[in-house]
Amino acid sequence: MLSSVLLLLLITGAQAAYYGAVITNSFGDIQPFVLTYNFIESGSSCQEVDIWHCGGNCTTPPFYAIDESRNEWCQKTEVRIYTTYGPRTFAYQHSVGSSNWIENRNGIVTPSLKISNDFRNRSDISKPNSTPQTTILPLVRVPSNCQRNINLLISDPDGDDIRCRYAAGPECNICTPPSVLSLSSSCSLSFSPTNSSAEGPYAVQMMVEDFPRQTITLTDGNTGVQEVKTTSIAIGSIPFQFVFRVDPAAPSCTAGEFLPRFLPPTPEHGVQILINVNQSLKISIRSEASQAEITELLFSGPPGVTKNSSGSGNFTLTWRPIAGDGGLNYPLCFVVQANSSGSVYQSDLRCVFVTTGNTTVSHPNTTTPQPTTITLTTTTNQPTTTTTPPMSSTPNATPVPGPYYVLALDAMISTTLSMKNDSATIMNLIKEELKRQGLPSDIIVKLLSSREVGVTTPAP
């Protein structure tokens, strides 16, 4: 006898959390101008980022993994190319699904991202404005007793004046800046030693803006209407968000003891590295921490960067730009982490510019296998859809460790087994199928309810 049964299952994992994002856009140098839109987003797992950004199906357009710190955060990026954008002022407000910021000391809960730019023709460069270009790791950390200056690396393709400030007003839901950080308009963050009561994570919500260095005119190509921008009026504004964690005090703040320090041939902060399209770039990174064990290198940069370790404190970042990267200037930031008696110590943040030769601005189409889709109903009865992502075709692909959330799966199965007598066997089969679809082996599957909806007897 074949019975059909409706099941409501609770699938449980760790708590999901948002770790920040950066959104930029830029224009190439060849007419008709092509707009490149880059969205970098960070969460507690790679699968969570997929769900927030594109409902779980991040294959069209691809959402590439940049890097991840196991059991802590994952950073991904989406790059979109637009040939039609219109001569207008662009403003976009983005909400991050149903996720909340990681629990933080300054009380920021709901993420909010606002980017604005002006796509009208600039009189000084005869093309639309490009926003500042930058990146950041999802989590920057420092011991509570150690001074730390964080010099962000930000460039502007149009040579504009770059200024930073904390987000305010409609740019965030709660806009309380982190009390332990000082931010200068020149985009330098400063942390001074504090007491243990200030330890913990802080949500950093910043805006990076570009201002013309001289008065310019913006012209609407369709209507001819013009607007003047002075040196005190921003043309573009991008969100810049990450988590800053104040850790317990370190036994020593001297770089190279507990806190890793960089050694040659590690490139200096702010260095520009030139590379031609379709040539491989290798960046050697060497570090030491005499009183701690160096465990990993963490980075944020363009899609396709891979990392390798060749012994304690020795790492290599490798990148091979494709045709669509020609003429672009990518920031690449990294830190080294060490561990001692369960405490984690992070080096200074170091960033370089990677500039590619050639000025081809078209990106090739990318084909990625279609994932298997599971339709879910949440416990609030709001329908959502998530997917089991395939292995990415990008060189830096890493297996997704998620899901890190609680879901209710509403499903119907047909089986010759009885829910009354064989429920344990059925639950185990369902769990094995979910694991086969890509969910982790440590998921917990609970039966919330079941209902027999029909009984059929196969024809003899």
The model's pTM:
0.76
Which segments of the chain belong to CATH 2.60.40.60?
17-34+83-249
Which pLDDT score is estimated for 438?
Answer: 62
d(CA 140, CA 418): 53
CATH of 253-365 among 3.30.70.20, 3.30.565.10, 1.10.1740.10, 2.60.40.10:
2.60.40.10
d(CA 116, CA 420): 59
Which pLDDT tens digits describe the chain residue by residue (460 residues)? Answer: 444 444 444 434 456 899 999 999 999 888 888 898 999 999 999 888 888 877 777 776 678 999 999 789 999 998 888 888 888 888 888 777 668 999 999 999 999 999 999 999 999 999 999 999 999 999 999 999 999 999 999 999 999 999 999 999 999 999 999 999 999 999 999 999 999 999 999 999 999 999 999 999 999 988 999 999 999 999 999 999 999 999 999 999 999 999 999 999 999 999 999 999 889 999 999 999 999 999 999 999 998 999 999 988 999 999 998 877 777 789 999 999 999 999 999 999 999 999 987 543 333 222 222 332 222 222 333 333 232 222 222 333 333 333 334 455 656 676 767 665 566 667 667 766 776 666 765 566 656 555 554 444 444 4
Q: How many CB atoms lie within 10 A of CB 244?
A: 24
Q: How many CB atoms lie within 10 A of CB 289?
A: 24
Residue whose pair of structure tokens reads 């092509």 in the numeric block: 34
Which segments of the chain belong to CATH 2.60.40.10?
253-365
CB under 8 Å to 75, separation ≥6 — which residues? 19, 40, 41, 42, 49, 65, 66, 67, 68, 137, 138, 300
d(CA 28, CA 360): 8
How far is residue 176 from each of residues 104, 172, 213, 270, measured CA to CA in Å? 11, 9, 31, 30
Judge whether 7 and 414 are in contact, CB under 8 Å. no
Which pLDDT score is estimated for 124?
Answer: 97
Q: Which CATH superfamily is domain 17-34+83-249 in?
A: Cadherins (2.60.40.60)
Which pLDDT score is estimated for 95?
Answer: 72
Which pLDDT score is estimated for 312?
Answer: 86
d(CA 175, CA 344): 29
